[in-house]
Amino acid sequence: MKKLLALSFFVALLSGCSSSRLVDEYVNSENPNFQANKVLVVGLTADPVLQRQFEYSLQQAMEKENVIAVKSVDYFESTFSENNQTEENLKNIENELLNAGFDAVLFSKVTGQESKVTIGQSYRNIAKSFESFSDYYNENRPVYGNEQIEDYPVYNTETSLYCLCPGKDRDLIWRGKIDIVNPPGAASTIRDYVKTIVQTLKRNNLLI
């Protein structure tokens, strides 16, 4: 009975784990008192559906923290992430945002993808290298016939918060690298990802 309860607790613990984890971050120490009050949220992706889902989810999460957040898909007639933005265009956009009361812009994008293997698969790979075939097969026969793939995808992302401060040229305030591990689905993945972003910004005292 105790073993069953322990197993149930372990399964529940695993099911509550987030698919997103912060792996690295940079905080600009030259702006220790900056706190974002009105933020333009920009998801840099070629998928318009995912962009809208992400920006909406982050907007809702920030508004719960009493921060005004505006989705780029609603604010601009064309996509803000167009590759042909000139420096003059960016300056004009910055002035427009300043006049509209924005004090920060948050960009988020996927920067890469890699594949990881489970601990069990790693162990079996090592075992195959250091044990004879007959010993390994006889001892692990129940597992050896399992041909299930035991690798999983990891998406590397980067989120940057820029200050729209008068007299400064789009100063980088914070940048975080977040890994999305074996994403279960679009909705829950975005929810976990947004939660990690907001919690990290709050921990660094970057939200008003």
Q: Mind listing the pLDDT tens digit for each residue in 5-27?
A: 333 333 333 334 678 999 999 99
Domain of 167, in residue numbers: 17-114+157-203
22 strand-pairing partners: 178
Closest CA to 206 of 37, 23, 21: 37
- Given this model, what pLDDT does residue 144 score? 46
Kindly state whether residue 134 falls inside one of the protein's structural domains. Answer: no
Number of domains composing the chain: 1
Kindly state whether residue 63 falls inside one of the protein's structural domains. Answer: yes
Q: What is the mean pLDDT of residues 176-192?
A: 90
Residues in the chain: 208
Domain CATH code at residue 73: 3.40.50
pTM of the complete model beyond 0.85: no
Distance CA 161, CA 64 (A): 18
Q: What is the mean pLDDT of residues 118-142?
A: 50
Question: pLDDT tens for residues 144-164?
Answer: 455 554 677 889 999 999 999
Amino acid at 64: K
137 strand-pairing partners: none
Kindly state whether residue 147 falls inside one of the protein's structural domains. Answer: no
Kindly state whether residue 11 falls inside one of the protein's structural domains. Answer: no
